[in-house]
Structure 1
Amino acid sequence: MGKQRGNLERKYPTRRSMHWNLETRYRILLSINNAIITQTSRVKLFQALATEIHKHFRYDRLSINLYDPETESLSYFAAADGIAPEGISSKESRPLAKGSVAQMVITSKSPVIIEDLNRYEDLPSVISMLDSGLTATMAFPLMVRNRILGSVHFSFRKRPEDMHDLVEVLTDVSNQVAIAVDNMLNYVALAKVNENLERQKRFLMVNGNDAYHRDHFFYASPAMAEIMSQIELVADTDASVLITGETGTGKDYLARTVHNLSSRRDHLFVKINCPALTESLIESELFGHGKGAFTGAHVQRVGRFEMGNGGTVFLDEVGDLPANLQAKLLQVIQDGEFERVGESRAIKVNIRIIAATNQDLENSMRNGSFRRDLYYRLNMVTIHTPRLKDRPEDIALLVERLTKLQAKQMNRPAPEYSDLALEKLIHYHWPGNVRELKNLVIRLVILRPGMRISEADIDKILSTFQTEQQIPVSTLADAERTHIERALIKCKGVLGGPHGAARLLGMPRSTLQYRLRKFGLNPHDYQRGEGTS
């Protein structure tokens, strides 16, 4: 340990043997360039580089380290070639050890040449290198535009006789390697951006029926004005938000408003409808899976949490999340990482969680069906959406604006409402909240286009609603199944798009898919316009 370390960054005099003359060095660089220029993966680039260098001189170990200045850590560009000393970690990432050869290269941005490793046993990892039979090493910085990417290391069992000349040659090689590594990292980053864009495109196409328009959220009541003020305060933080309220009160719209007012607005808003998840595939849906993770997993799949990286993940009806998934969700929120099904590599994500429920989660905690620790993680800020009947000031405005919107979408003249008709709607108890009101408006636009709506018309349609609510559940389910089947027949099994069954039924595609699973319906059975009985 007390041995003199000496000046590791040796300055060798300029002397070139015929073996390394300018013409030879040029041919070496050209052959290396031709070998690596067409490679499109780290592993293939490294293998091509190792193969080509071996043609011109022998080494016993070659490795390329990448340096992360933010975490002051190293990772291998690809698996090292040649001898693998036991003490040298092969983990994906490791701290930059103080006093190590890599640390000296990266700090000084200059080559470090050790002709005799026995003289530097106090350096980290040198003992392991000696134990594996290595006696000399040469390390060069990988520099691009005055930015250090990492280091390239050549190690030897026996010190090369022409080591002085080799330093000059490998300095040129390291410059070329730096350019290739930088190009590869940029290529991989661009490929990842394109993959994310394609993934977002597919997601948006599938969920296009959930289109959000902030100016379609109408309110006039003090209660809703207070909620919107609260949303504006919390939106641009990363605090988890729990939105509570009955079905149909607009929890989805409030969640999207939080997202669109936040700094995450340029990233995806990924909605997860917890009750609609198939239990057997729920982990794959949320976390993705690796190729071959289970029967039928022919390709790697990106899950909803990875898709939402940088954006917002909305857990709709989170109270229906199974207990085993509650634990995994808690871990994702706490650690900011997860593993795909069938893989052991941790994937880091930066997401904001918004959850919604129509259940009493405090009661669910007491009966053990919802985790207490998860509840407190989700419940940093609570927003409660009031029932429609508790904010009557909004009803007339909602009727007016929704009627105009639906009439425009259906290309029909909008009906008009008498004062008594509006009064009737204001005093109705609205068990289905805004969703029920919207359905009523849609029926009126279809059945009374351009007509004046009287109190009698409202009485008639409300009585129809009440009759539907009194139908036994089994009968209502049968009616719903038949209704969906007719839509599938008409649309020939197509679910999404302007001519799909979801659009015809006036529901999001994700909701339709859930109901198809609920009723055991397969859209492929209707592709020719014929359904099963």
Structure 2
Amino acid sequence: MRLSDSPDQDAAAAAEVTRAEFARFALENLFTISPDAIFVTDDDGIIRAANPRATQLFGYTSAELVGKRIEILVPERFRARHPAHRENYDAHPRARQMGAAMNLFGLRKDGTEFPVDIMLRPLRTPAGSAVLSIVRDVTEQRQAQDEARRSDLQLRSLLDGVRDYAIYLLDKDGYITTWNPGAERIKYYTPDEIIGKHFSRFFMQEDVEQGRPAELMRLAALRGRIEEEGWRVRKDGSRFWADVVLTAVRDKTGELTGFAKVTRDFTDRKRAEEAVMLQLSQALLSNLDVRKLLGAISASVREVVPHDCATLGLYDASSRTLMVQFLGIDEGDIRRSDVLVPLEGSPASEAFQTREPVIIERLQTSHFKPEAVRHLTSLGMQSACCIPLINRGEVIGTLAVSSRLENAFTQREAEMLVQVADQVAMAVSNAMVFRQIAELRDRLRQEKEYLQEEINLENRFEDIIGESGGLRQVLKQIETVAPTDATVLIQGETGTGKELLARAIHRLSGRRDRTFIKVNCAAIPAGLIESELFGHEKGAFTGAIARKMGRLELAHEGTLFLDEVGELPLDLQPKLLRALQEREIERLGGNRPISVNIRLIAATNRDLSQMVAEKQFRSDLFYRLKVFPIFSPPLRDRSGDIPVLVRHFVSTHSRRMGKSIETIPEETMKALCRWPWPGNIRELENFLERAVILTRGSVLYVPLAELETKVAEEQEQLDNFSPTLQAAEREHILRVLRETRGQIGGADGAAERLGLKRTTLNSKLKKLGIERSDYM
């Protein structure tokens, strides 16, 4: 390189030389290592250079190619036309990409031809113009294309010949790209009318609005293949029942390219099945009696799948077996006894456990144990099909059909039986529930009769017997207050029938059709009464293993009766008061208020005003309870009612004990009327029950000596000491305690003899100041 007078020009020239050297080096290497054949020809088509791949591909040496015309590499049949093409290219030189020409062939030295793709590019050189030709062997590509064309022709021929199936392709967006004659026959569209349209036009309008077409494509792309049945629409708007298979199509890289869709017209089958299923449903669902149902199942199944014998297996959870019953069999309708099938080793058990149909082509050679199918083989059955019965997601049993022929059942029969099985499962479940309800109804009827008898035995004052002025005054008060929702406080001695008065108020109120809930505050331990009243949540305290509703919540819209309210713990009274005022409660361990609407009736045999004065009862709760007080008179104040009560109790107890007591002696009645009955009606009742037990004939026997002794002693005490009524009651209790040697509870204790509850007697002992040293 010659230097100039300018250093900058010299530097630029040096850089240009360097770039030219790199370019020449790269071009020489590309020319040498290219996988394609490269030729350089002049304007006359003379080969001036050829790379190693060119000599390898065409079978010539470099010396044999250079200087020869390019036409020696063109097949003889194209050689005459080639100079004209070359001259036209020389006149209009332009770059031509690979694949621009079709069906080009090269000619090897040995005379064989092979398909090629050629890229041409004009060159300008110092010696003149030239052409760079790059030749690629496309033998493998052409073979693959030919194979694909042959496959495509075969597939198209196959698709065109299938007229019972609509077979067509969709692109990945759901637009139709192919259409076979079967699709035209089923859907009435010609290829020109439908290709390029979206396949959603085949769906019902409601399916389109719900996005069903897009959902099917999504599922097919996700799963690879999806099959479903449903109504589709033809070109004329008519419906047909279609069985559809949609398959995702992907390329070698796994990229989704479209979908293949196959549709069958099952309209005739659908209508036939619907007719059979309607008949089947009517037959099954109209029979709630299990025996009649079995016959209906046998007749209905025979309509769907011909068979020689049908069985129904019902699962018994207690024994983990299937009780198989014969539904009917040909030749005289032979009846067989039920067969217990274990949940292992039988067709029924396999269908039950897998929830899938089981088809047995040959019973004798199947994998099932011989004893597990003997109930069928003994009747000459050779094949069978067993279907699970599933109702509300739970397998309740199996349905099986069998035949004296081998291979009598296919997948088609199994599919039909699966549809029948849904109806059978529902009918069987309904029949079983109906039977359970009938059994439960009978049991409840018996329990009701028993409970009514128990209620009649325990609540013998249901009609509040008596005619005295004091009682009539109480009943008048009840009639006045019952229609209101006012809180009532019933006061009176133990045994005077306070609970009966409370029930009478409830029966006469507007809440009589709702619940009457009773809580005996003295009978519930102090540590449990809060939970009993307000309920608790699971885990609220040790032992709270489940949620429990309280009595106030149970009495919602009804009446709550708090008996012996004076025994209510002092620390619980504010919570009860709040519940009454706010009309809402919270369960123990809960944080959600629960609204309650109750009518409260309270009862007590204690002097609440005195308890308030002694700080044993909250005054605010007392005034809340004492809205409408009622006093239940003791029996001594209504002695005129004693004869009526005596006759009532004697009649009731004698009837219960199977005795016929027709007469009550006059002296007996007078003695009963003279006794003050500190235990009131309960004591009178208990005493008369004992008398009925002792009576052997038709005349009531009362141990008058015992009664007269008690009356005489009481009278003597009244004459000598003129004690108050409270003192008389105290002496009576002491006498009974001495007779029972201090035993308060139990079958023969003082409480039982007095007709009192143990807790009530203990309260009286405290109130009357009776110590153990007084009677022991």
- TM superposition score normalised by structure 1: 0.51
Return closer, same or farther for 1:294/1:426 CA change in 2, 3 Å cut-off: same
Deviations 1:42-92 (A, max 9, x none): xxxxxxxxxxxxxxxxxxxxxxxxxxxxxxxxxxxxxxxxxxxxxxxxxxx
Taking the aligned partners of 1:435 and 1:214, their CA distance within structure 2 comes to 10
Query: What is residue 207 of structure 2 aligned with on the other side?
Result: 23
Letter in 2 for 1:478: Q
Give the Cα–Cα distance (whole angstroms) in 1 for the partners of residues 487 and 518 of structure 2: 15
Q: Distance in 2 between the 1:346 and 1:474 partners?
A: 53
Aligned to 2:608: 361
Identical pairs, percent: 38
Give the aligned residue type for 2:675. Answer: Y
Partner of 1:397: 644
Look up the SS of the partner of 2:743 in the other structure: helix
Q: Which whole-Å CA distance do the structure 2 matches of 1:277 and 1:207 have between them?
A: 26
- The equivalent of 1:302 in structure 2 is 549
TM alignment of 1:59-74, pairs within 5 A: none
Shift of 1:357: 0.7
Match of 1:262 in 2: 509
Task: Write the distance in 1 (CA, Å) between the matches of 2:580 and 2:689.
Answer: 40
Please say if 1:318 is aligned against 2:565.
yes
Question: What is the Cα deviation at residue 451 of structure 1?
Answer: 4.0
1:458 counterpart = 2:704: yes
Match 1:423 to one of 649, 652, 670: 670
Distance 1:514 1:248 in 2: 10
Instruction: Quote the residue 1:480 is aligned against.
Output: 745
Shift of 1:460: 2.4
For 1:358 and 1:318, locate their aligned partners in 2 and report how far apart those are by CA, in whole Å. 9
2:625 counterpart (361, 378, 382): 378
Q: Identify the residue that residue 440 of structure 1 maps to in structure 2.
A: 687
Is the 1:415–1:445 Cα contact (8 Å) retained in structure 2?
no
Structure 1: 5+ residue runs without aligned partners?
Answer: 1-17, 32-197, 485-503, 516-533
**SS at 2:514's partner residue?**
coil
- The residue type paired with residue 706 of structure 2 is K
**1:414 maps to amino acid:** I
Distance change in 2, residues 1:462/1:435 (3 Å): farther
Matched residue count: 307
Q: Equivalent residues in 2 for 1:121-160 (5 A)?
A: none
Q: In the alignment, which of 328, 336, 339 is matched to residue 575 of structure 2?
A: 328
Aligned to 2:500: 253
Q: Which residue of 2 aligns with 1:189?
A: none
Shift of 1:459: 3.4
User: Relative to structure 1, is the Cα distance of residues 240 and 404 closer, same or farther in structure 2, using a 3 angstrom cutoff?
Assistant: same
Residue 26 of structure 1 and its aligned partner are, at CA, apart by 3.1
Distance (Å, rounded) in 1 between the aligned partners of 2:673 and 2:742 = 30
Other-structure match for 1:219: 466
- Report how far residue 414 of structure 1 moved: 2.2
Partner residue of 2:594 out of 343, 347, 359: 347
Q: Could you report, residue by residue, the CA deviation over 1:405-436 in whole angstroms, capped at 9, with x for unpaired residues?
A: 11112222226222222112112111111111
- CA deviations 1:454-507 (Å, max 9, x no partner) are 7x83332464799875143895663633659xxxxxxxxxxxxxxxxxxx9999
Residues 480 and 298 (structure 1 numbering): CA distance in 2 closer, same or farther, change over 3 Å? same
Q: Deviations over 1:69-127 (max 9, x none)?
A: xxxxxxxxxxxxxxxxxxxxxxxxxxxxxxxxxxxxxxxxxxxxxxxxxxxxxxxxxxx
Correspondences of 1:115-126 after superposition (within 5 Å): none
Q: Quick check: 1:415–1:444 contact (8 Å CA) kept in 2?
A: no
Q: Distance in 1 between matches of 2:570 and 2:453?
A: 27
1:318 and 1:479, CA in 2 relative to 1: closer, same or farther beyond 3 A? closer
Q: Distance in 2 between matches of 1:212 and 1:417?
A: 23
Distance in 2 (CA, whole Å) between partners of 1:266 and 1:354 is 17
AA partner of residue 24 (structure 1): V
**Structure 1 residues 506 and 247 mapped into 2: Cα distance closer, same or farther (>3 Å)?**
closer
SS at match of 1:270: strand
1:292 touches 1:342 (CA, 8 Å); kept in 2? yes
The answer to whether the 8 A contact 1:399-1:441 is kept is yes
Q: 1:448 to 1:208 in 2, by over 3 A?
A: closer
Residues 356, 28 of structure 1: CA spacing in aligned structure 2 closer, same or farther, 3 A cutoff? farther
Instruction: Tell me how far apart the structure 2 counterparts of residues 308 and 208 of structure 1 sit (CA, whole Å).
Output: 22
Aligned partner of residue 417 in structure 1, secondary structure: coil
Letter in 2 for 1:472: L
How big is the shift at 1:441? 0.9
Structure-2 separation of matches of 1:458 and 1:402: 18
1:286 counterpart residue number: 533
Shift of 1:208: 5.8
Indicate how the Cα distance of structure 1 residues 350 and 254 shifts in structure 2: closer, same or farther if over 3 A, else same. same
Partner Cα separation in structure 1 for residue 742 and residue 599 of structure 2: 36
**Judging changes above 3 Å, is the alpha-carbon distance between structure 1 residues 214 and 439 closer, same or farther for their aligned structure 2 residues?**
closer
CA distance 1:366–1:239, shift in 2 (3 Å): same
More contact order relative to length (CA 8 Å, sep ≥ 6): 1
Give the 3 Å change call, closer, same or farther, for CA 470–415 of structure 1 in structure 2. Answer: farther
Quick check: 1:272–1:304 contact (8 Å CA) kept in 2? yes
Distance 1:376 1:208 in 2: 36
- Note closer, same or farther for the CA distance 1:475–1:296 as it changes in structure 2 (3 Å cut): same
Q: Flag the 1:377–1:513 CA change in 2: closer, same or farther, 3 A.
A: closer
What stretches of structure 2 of length at least 5 have no aligned partner?
Answer: 1-199, 216-443, 714-731, 762-776
Is the CA contact (8 Å cut-off) linking 2:679 and 2:755 kept in structure 1?
A: no
Q: Distance in 2 between matches of 1:389 and 1:254?
A: 18
Rate the CA distance shift 1:506–1:342 in 2: closer, same or farther, 3 A.
farther
CA–CA separation in structure 2 for the residues paired with 1:448 and 1:214: 23
Q: CA, structure 1 residues 462+348, in 2 after alignment: closer, same or farther (shift >3 Å)?
A: farther
Report if the CA contact (8 A) 1:316-1:356 is conserved.
Answer: yes
Over aligned residues, Cα RMSD in angstroms? 3.9
Bigger share in strand: 2
Instruction: Say if 1:22 and 1:514 are closer, same or farther in 2 by CA, change over 3 A.
Output: farther
Cα pair 2:686 2:755 within 8 Å, conserved: no
Aligned to 1:175: none
3-state secondary structure, aligned to 2:549: coil
CA distance in 1, matches of 2:499, 2:560: 12
Aligned to 2:127: none
Deviations 1:200-240 (A, max 9, x none): x99x9799658656654210101101111110111111000
1:76-115 → structure 2 map (5 Å cutoff): none
Matched residue, 2:247: none
Q: CA deviation at 1:345?
A: 0.6
Cα distance in 2, alignment partners of residues 405 and 222 from structure 1: 25
Contact kept, 8 Å, 1:308 with 1:351, in 2: the verdict is: yes
8 Å CA contact 2:496, 2:635 repeated in 1: yes
Which residue does the alignment assign to 2:44? none
| Alpha-carbon separation, structure 2, partners of 1:507 and 1:270 | 24
| Deviation of 1:294 (Å) | 1.1
Question: Which SS does the other structure have where 1:314 is aligned?
Answer: strand
With 207-216 and 400-409 compared, the bigger mean Cα shift is at 207-216
Distance 1:373 1:239 in 2: 16
Counterpart amino acid of 2:207? E
* Structure 2 SS opposite 1:355: strand
